[in-house]
Amino acid sequence: MSHQKTFYNPEIAAKVTYTEKWKMETVTVKEISDLHVLHHYWQDAAGELWGDFDDPMENVRSDFQAYRQRKNYLAPQDIVTLRKKLNLTVRQFASKLGLSSSTLSQIENDQRVQTRYQDNLFRWASGEKFTTNTLTSEDA
């Protein structure tokens, strides 16, 4: 049996019981238009799909994760772990990298996807060495 849950839906100002649905979708993030991501929805009695009322950014985070994996970018938690390993605050780490603290905070909190340049800065800060062997076709 499908999982059901009652949510307050602010669009209709009522509590409604929804059925959980998972749907594989093709999404676009930045320049990549063929990311296949499993999205989580709640379906009402009329068949309409709704994002999670308790976590409206859930599917967006899944899209960001798929993009980072495709681009081989560090995950937000990896960046947080690196910063803490360096014993730096968000403000200090951002300053050393030449980023704004708000940009770094958004990346760490999975509200923004870093650029290749920013990902390279994070890798440089982790001590990763850059050689011609590490260049990808996107870098050439």
Residue range 64-88, pLDDT digits in tens: 999 999 999 999 999 999 999 999 9
DSSP code of 131? -
What band does 130 get if pLDDT is binned at 50, 70 and 90?
confident
Residue 83 parent element (H or E)? helix 76-85
Domains in the chain, ordered, with CATH? Answer: 4-56 (no CATH), 76-127 (1.10.260.40)
pTM: predicted TM-score of the whole model, two decimal places: 0.82
Q: Label residues 87-116 b or e (16+ Cβ within 10 Å = b).
A: ebebeebbeebebeeebbeebbebebbbee
Give the tens place of pLDDT for each residue, 28-66: 999 999 999 999 999 999 999 999 999 999 999 999 999
Q: 139 pLDDT exceeds 70?
A: no
Tokens matching residue 130:
């850059």
